[in-house]
Structure 1
Amino acid sequence: MRLYDKRIEDYDNEIAMILRKDQINTNLGNALPQTPEKLKQIRDLIRDYAAETEIVPPLQESEVIFHSGELIKMHPELFLYQKLLAVMINNFAWQNIVAGIPFNRRILLLPKCFSHADCPAKFDELGLLCEQCGRCDLADIISRADDLGYHTIVSEGTTSASVLLSSGQVECVIGVGCLHSFERSFPLAVKEAVPSIAIPLYNNDCKDSKVDEIWLNEVLANRKESNWNGWIDLDQLKKSVKSWFSKEKLQEFFDYTDDTVDIAINWIEKDGKRWRPLMMTAVYDALMGKSGEYNETIQKLAVSIECFHKASLVHDDIADDDDQRYGKPSLHKEYDVPVALNVGDLIVGYGYQMIAESGAKHIKSLLKVASRAHRDLSLGQGEELLWRSNGKLLSREEIIRIFSNKTSPAFEVALQFGAIQANAGSDVVDVISEYSTALGIAYQINDDLDDFKQNEIASGFNTVQPSMISCILNEKYPDKMNEWRRNQNSDILKWDETKAAMQEAEEMLADYKHKAMKSLCKLSNPNLKILLTRLLNRIVPE
């Protein structure tokens, strides 16, 4: 059993107090040994600890706190070095993956304060252009890194590194900086799941900065084969997935000529983010090792997932009487309700047919996942439709249940299909289920917030379907909400009242994103953990 599988809330109270004492005395935990020997001693302690503990990147803050606490329990003298411990533990988690990344796919990010106070060098859009004047150690470090093939940047902040990372030219960052800067950048590194190693400066005063060059050189030169196959390029993968939804490809898969089939194909081909087939394929890649080549089995399973999604949109648009979808007439407006209902049902049928004809290894398991999600979606939709007819004010528990049934299963089907096809074990399947539930709820709350932000008036919430904001307003102002529902009078609720409810919903959104991230702590596959971390922040951005 992995040590941090137990709940953080159950940690020993004494350690929890120790780890939070720096809130009282900001000098505690900020210390840094001033000799290479002492730094290596601490690194060796972490290495020995990690030899008996599974540490899988990317680490969440809760995981770093846990491991730091365990080390302090065993070595109380390390209490003075809390923040250094956090950096080193995170380094250790990433070191094997970083070692597997070629030098020319790495960034060395150096701080400006490394340069001499009278440095004559100029800056371009990426950072300082060292003139190799010899006044400081910067030139020697840059030369060593350049000889290995690194992209070297001397700059304040991480903007320049982010530019290179987003370009796809590099995959990881070796960063040198003060402990304070690492503390600020940690949330960003977690969000993007960037393989990274941090080497702290001996001092934090931003002048005459020095670093343990023995440690830095050791990290820079570390290169060995690993099971790291590189980041899954979601943008490139999206292009591959999109090609499976061309009219020609869908006609090939559906293998039937008919006017109703043509309507169905045109509907499936229409715009959309195609998150679900993308997620399925990405999970498959993460578990199997990315290949960039996908046989008909993977393509048909991906199309089946999109069929279920597109059919639900047809039915949703009818239930909500929406005029448009993707900026064009919704299907029941383009034709009529009976035609749209029939086409939606046809698309569901084709979804199951794609699974049956896919040639997948575990068709029984796939059908079980798909049918259960179909059932849950209908239950969630049913609860929402009944809410519309009875005029009842929903509680948070009820609306979360609707979100769990309506939105989460669609994500779970996609993720589970990829995992099942990759022969994942029950441990992965269980994590995906927990992750999907939190992701679906977070996605729906975020969608609600987007609706309200676009309107910025009290009448902005959707009267056709329940939202978390309207639910919070129900709790706070039940009389006003009842009157609003009866009279549709936008003057009853003030915008400040609605805005306060939105802020509360934003806190709930953050909480469910945290739950999704926390569920990943149980994964032992770093490729999958990295992917699901990045997907969460793509699907539910800040």
Structure 2
Amino acid sequence: MPEPQALRNDIRNRCREIASKIDKSRPMTTDEMEVVVRQILAEMDLEEHFIGWTMVMFASEFWRDQVAAVPPSRRLFLLPHCLKHSEGCPADYDQFGLDCKTCGACSIADFRGLAEDLGYRVLVAEGSPIVLKIIVSGYVDAVVGVACLNVLEKAVDKILLAGIPCMAVPLLSDDCRNTSVDEQWVDEMIRLEYDNSTPQTCTYMHLMRASAALFDPDTLEELIPRIRGTIRIDENSNAANLAAMDPIGATEAVAYDFLSKGGKHSRPFITLATYDAMTGGQAT
């Protein structure tokens, strides 16, 4: 983590300056971005161990205009639970993460309140699976968030591959307890004004969503009609229902239920992306 804050400001400003001059018609690859970041650090006479942090800053500046082109109501604001005060926090966890009680003891409530007032969807959770699921479901078109540098470094490859418009502010430490962040940067990121005049960067988001849609229960039934039965597994189903069915029919029902429960859908996505490339769609 670059210290002091003045140095972080200088690095971010340089990233913004360079990113503003780069062709954004397509996402940069990780290797391309690393070349630029190394040049920035060399120009500023800074050490290479700042590469990860600077990559996050540069990626955020690269996608800034694309995030601005998405209305706040279609943005997801992601916060880590480690910003909470570990002692005495009254919040519980649900399937989506930390259910903040807005007690005011930490900055989570302030950031969350500001984001929700502007129309954001807000999630206090760690990890990319739930975020990717929300994005693929079609509820949001851009992500802004706060996370530890380690998580953000791992996410860069996935973000660049999928072409997800995003911005992030790294936590100031990786302690995972009572952490802090450059709060002014987070405030500025949340308040990024909507401006839809920016040309769109090529993305695979529509193909990711199309591959997920193939496994909607009704679509799945249409594409792959059942052979051994018509009974669907739902919240009212139990072992007795399956036991009363033909064994192969029960296996078929379980398989259909499993396929419709979600997942990364990597193979159908790769198939769609290959078709897109072969037919000149160019990920648009």
Q: What TM-score results when the alignment is normalised by the length of structure 2?
A: 0.69
Residue 122 of structure 1 deviates from its aligned partner by: 1.0
Name the structure 2 match of 1:22: none
Which of 176, 179, 188 matches 1:218?
188
Which of 82, 98, 106 matches 1:128?
98
Structure 1 contact 56–93 (Cα < 8 Å) conserved: no
Residue 73 of structure 1 deviates from its aligned partner by: 2.7
Structure 1 contact 108–153 (Cα < 8 Å) conserved: yes
Q: What does the per-residue CA deviation read over 1:344-376, in whole Å, with 9 as the maximum and x for residues that have no partner?
A: xxxxxxxxxxxxxxxxxxxxxxxxxxxxxxxxx
RMSD: 2.8
Structure with greater proportional helix content: 1
Name the structure 2 match of 1:360: none
Name the structure 2 match of 1:207: 177
1:166 partnered with 2:136: yes
Larger radius of gyration: 1
Structure 1 contact 99–226 (Cα < 8 Å) conserved: no
Residue 233 of structure 1 deviates from its aligned partner by: 3.2
For residues 50 and 234 of structure 1, the distance between their equivalents in structure 2, rounded to whole angstroms, comes to 26
Residue 197 of structure 1 deviates from its aligned partner by: 0.8
Residue 190 of structure 1 deviates from its aligned partner by: 2.6
Residue 123 of structure 1 deviates from its aligned partner by: 1.4
Residue 78 of structure 1 deviates from its aligned partner by: 5.1
Residue 156 of structure 1 deviates from its aligned partner by: 1.7
Structure 2 contact 77–123 (Cα < 8 Å) conserved: yes
1:65 partnered with 2:65: no
Structure 1 contact 172–195 (Cα < 8 Å) conserved: yes
For residues 210 and 24 of structure 2, the distance between their equivalents in structure 1, rounded to whole angstroms, comes to 28
Residue 410 of structure 1 deviates from its aligned partner by: 7.9
1:75 partnered with 2:44: yes
SS of the residue 1:211 aligns to:
coil
For residues 68 and 135 of structure 1, the distance between their equivalents in structure 2, rounded to whole angstroms, comes to 37
In 2 relative to 1, CA 83–104 (structure 1 residues): closer, same or farther, beyond 3 Å? same
Structure 2 contact 16–62 (Cα < 8 Å) conserved: no
Number of residue pairs the alignment of both structures matches:
220
SS of the residue 1:182 aligns to:
helix
For residues 115 and 143 of structure 1, the distance between their equivalents in structure 2, rounded to whole angstroms, comes to 15
Which of 65, 69, 91 matches 1:96?
65
Name the structure 1 match of 2:253: none
SS of the residue 1:77 aligns to:
coil
Show structure 1 runs of 5+ residues with no match. 1-30, 239-270, 273-408, 419-527, 533-542
Show structure 2 runs of 5+ residues with no match. 212-222, 225-273
Structure 2 contact 66–200 (Cα < 8 Å) conserved: no
For residues 146 and 42 of structure 1, the distance between their equivalents in structure 2, rounded to whole angstroms, comes to 30
In 2 relative to 1, CA 167–117 (structure 1 residues): closer, same or farther, beyond 3 Å? same
Structure 1 contact 199–216 (Cα < 8 Å) conserved: yes
In 2 relative to 1, CA 156–58 (structure 1 residues): closer, same or farther, beyond 3 Å? same
Structure 2 contact 56–156 (Cα < 8 Å) conserved: no
For residues 72 and 152 of structure 1, the distance between their equivalents in structure 2, rounded to whole angstroms, comes to 34
1:86 partnered with 2:59: no
Q: What does the per-residue CA deviation read over 1:387-439, in whole Å, with 9 as the maximum and x for residues that have no partner?
A: xxxxxxxxxxxxxxxxxxxxxx9876611xx5xxxxxxxxxxxxxxxxxxxxx
For residues 132 and 209 of structure 2, the distance between their equivalents in structure 1, rounded to whole angstroms, comes to 18
Structure number with greater CO (CA < 8 Å, separation at least 6) is 2
Name the structure 1 match of 2:108: 138
